[in-house]
Amino acid sequence: MLDPVGFEQRLESHNPVFYLAQRCWFDNDPSLLHEPLHRDRICKALLEAYQDPQSDRAGDGFFVQRESYKSTFAQGVFPMFILLRGKHIHNRDERILLLHHKEQQASANLQLVKSKLVQHPWLKEVWPEFCMASEEGTKLGFDTPCKNPGIYHENSVMAAGLGARMVGYHFDWIICDDIVTDEHINSKQVRDDAFQKYQTVRFMLDTIRGKVFLSGTFYHPNDLWQKLIKSGNYRLMTIAAGEVQEDGSITNLSFPNRHTEEFLLRRRKEEADSSGNDDLWWLQYMLAVKSRRKVAADLSWLQECTRDEVPWEAMRLITVDPAWKGTKNQGEGDDAAIAVLALAKIGSIISLYILDGIASNEMTDGEGRSEIFRYMNTYGVINVAPEEIGGQAFRQSLRNEAVSRGTPINVIDLKTRNVGKQYRISALFAQAENRRVFLCSDCDPDFAAKFRSQFADYPQLDHEDVLDAVAYAYDPEITENYAPRWNQAAGAARQPRQAPVQRRTRYCGI
């Protein structure tokens, strides 16, 4: 009987990765897979990552909505395809590492691959040389029966958690799945550790044909995935559950037989009701950093100047976020921040100049006092405004040290209890948007870099200490009682002081 479709036409929609998934992993159940998603997008990305020659890219990957079988494809179907294809076509024994944030999960994925090689009837019929009589190897590694013994000491497939010590191992493929988890939501330390550990893992790649493949979902606007996307060194695809319209409806569903519009809207409402916002829903299902609270400011609002351009009449002051460190918490948590500022005011218009500053999570209160007096001497400042909460004892210690040094000091009592942090920062952003916040080019580079970073990312931040220290300038106690007031005759606050007019007198023959 003649084939009514034809071999070539069948190949147009054929994907060998998807074919393996259908036959071995989903047992030809059409209710589980959605071809426009799994064949035309996920498996297409997997096949392209496999077939493309080694290039300047650091890796490939996809980020797919939750509950879409991404882990099954990334650390199940794909490593099996690599094993079968590599040996059958290239007579190559592949070395694959399955990497997960947790070793237990990576091991579970490995054991699932191994169980398919032992038990699945279709695999036994079509690829018998790869099938085992019984489960061999360990929970963290196994070899295929057809592997050529004695070439590599690495197993055909190994599993590890992110950060596992695997010095001396080399792999042809490192497949990372969910190395970003819910632990990354609230801990910058965890996110930074994950980035460092991932960078270390890359040194285990074979230098000739080693490749990285990544999969997962987003958990934080600044997590590891976001850093890799922003680097531009990876070919990464994101697949959202759908498109959210202005009226709140969701169209163009990518997995409609599992994630209906009703399901997605219900999940969104549940997230908003429980946490007060839908940030995580956007990250997990829409693969987007989109939130009512996300964008508060734009770096383009910041103006630049030099210290010489700061008006002479501006009031200099030092604001302090006193998160001082002791022996147990040194190098951890929030920064202690000291900002040297200048305020110039005409009517209700305040121009703020950021002259200098320092921020560190290793600074003790003694070191903080020394820095404050150094800045006071350098910039001729007598006004110092420490944060009220946690700064009571520090205020008194400042006064005591000023007496011992013979240095005049005016410690300003801020109205922090009556004005929340978000209102101070909002006031800072409002002034910045009107081009009234100036960052001096002479400012300490580390302090300036932290300020810019926190200014751009607020409120999705772990620490906003530098931003908050600067925003103290808009505390009502300062703006109402200390910021200098100038009338129109004095000229604009940003204008340099004019030289006095020389007049003739009886003592001068000018």
CB-CB contact of 494 with 409 (8 Å): no
pLDDT at position 251 is 94
Q: Is 234 exposed, middle or buried (0-12, 13-18, 19+ CB in 10 A)?
A: middle
- Other CB atoms within a 10 A radius of the CB of residue 365 amount to 18
Q: Is residue 228 domain-shared with residue 307, that is, in the same domain?
A: no
| Amino acid residing at 129 | E
pLDDT tens digit string along 338-387? 999 999 877 778 899 999 999 998 898 899 999 999 999 999 999 999 98
pLDDT band at 1 (very low <50, low <70, confident <90, very high): very low
pLDDT at position 326 is 66
Asked whether residue 397 is assigned to any structural domain, the reply reads yes
CB-CB contact of 315 with 383 (8 Å): yes
pLDDT above 80 (res 304) = yes
Asked whether residue 43 is assigned to any structural domain, the reply reads yes
Q: Is residue 233 domain-shared with residue 331, that is, in the same domain?
A: no
- Give the domain-ending residue among 218, 239, 260: 239
Q: Is 87 exposed, middle or buried (0-12, 13-18, 19+ CB in 10 A)?
A: buried
pLDDT at position 502 is 46
CA distance 147 to 157: 11
Cα angle for residues 328, 332, 335 (degrees, 5° grid): 120
pLDDT tens digit string along 229-243? 888 899 999 999 999
Q: Is residue 345 domain-shared with residue 482, that is, in the same domain?
A: yes
Higher per-residue confidence, 220 vs 127: 127
Q: Is residue 215 domain-shared with residue 308, that is, in the same domain?
A: no
pLDDT band at 222 (very low <50, low <70, confident <90, very high): confident
Asked whether residue 419 is assigned to any structural domain, the reply reads yes
CB-CB contact of 171 with 96 (8 Å): yes
Q: Are strands 315-321 and 383-386 parallel, antiparallel or unpaired?
A: parallel
pLDDT at position 298 is 80
CA distance 7 to 5: 7
pLDDT at position 417 is 59
Q: What is the pTM of this model?
A: 0.63
pLDDT above 90 (res 444) = yes
Q: Is residue 37 domain-shared with residue 163, that is, in the same domain?
A: yes
Average pLDDT over residues 252-280: 91
93: helix, strand or coil = coil
Asked whether residue 64 is assigned to any structural domain, the reply reads yes
- Give the domain-ending residue among 221, 239, 257: 239
Which of 171, 140, 143, 160 lies closest to 59 in space, CA to CA? 171
Q: Taking the CA atoms of the chain, what radius of gyration do you get in angstroms? A: 31
Q: Is residue 327 domain-shared with residue 183, that is, in the same domain?
A: no
- Give the domain-ending residue among 189, 221, 239: 239
pLDDT tens digit string along 286-300? 998 765 445 567 888
pLDDT at position 74 is 96
Number of domains into which the chain is organized: 2
Q: What is the mean pLDDT of the chain?
A: 85
CB-CB contact of 441 with 498 (8 Å): no
Asked whether residue 29 is assigned to any structural domain, the reply reads yes
Average pLDDT over residues 100-110: 95
Asked whether residue 357 is assigned to any structural domain, the reply reads yes
Q: Is residue 89 domain-shared with residue 194, that is, in the same domain?
A: yes
Average pLDDT over residues 213-231: 89
Average pLDDT over residues 303-316: 90
pLDDT band at 408 (very low <50, low <70, confident <90, very high): very high
Q: Is residue 195 domain-shared with residue 315, that is, in the same domain?
A: no
CB-CB contact of 79 with 158 (8 Å): no
Q: How far is CA 311 from CA 145, 355, 493, in A?
A: 79, 12, 6
Asked whether residue 53 is assigned to any structural domain, the reply reads yes
Return the structure tokens found at 421.
Answer: 């942090």
pLDDT at position 419 is 62
CB-CB contact of 357 with 340 (8 Å): yes
pLDDT band at 331 (very low <50, low <70, confident <90, very high): low
pLDDT above 60 (res 139) = yes
Q: What CATH number has the domain bearing residue 18? A: 3.40.50.300
Quote the crossing angle between the two packed helices 188-201 and 224-231, to the nearest 10°: 60
Separation of first and last alpha carbons in the chain: 118
CB-CB contact of 478 with 344 (8 Å): no
CA distance 89 to 85: 6
pLDDT at position 322 is 86
DSSP readout, 334-362?
SPEEEEEEEEEEETTEEEEEEEEEEEESS
CA distance 405 to 376: 12
Share of the chain above pLDDT 90, in %: 54
Q: How far is CA 139 from CA 24, 171, 185, in A?
A: 21, 18, 29
Among 37-41, 184-188, 380-384, 476-480, the least confident range: 184-188
Q: Is residue 404 domain-shared with residue 308, that is, in the same domain?
A: yes
Domain encompassing residue 480: 299-487
pLDDT at position 508 is 47
Q: What CATH number has the domain bearing residue 416? A: 3.30.420.280
Q: Is residue 31 domain-shared with residue 167, that is, in the same domain?
A: yes
Asked whether residue 456 is assigned to any structural domain, the reply reads yes
pLDDT above 50 (res 489) = no
pLDDT at position 330 is 63
Q: Is residue 480 domain-shared with residue 381, that is, in the same domain?
A: yes
Q: Is residue 233 domain-shared with residue 328, that is, in the same domain?
A: no
pLDDT above 90 (res 430) = no
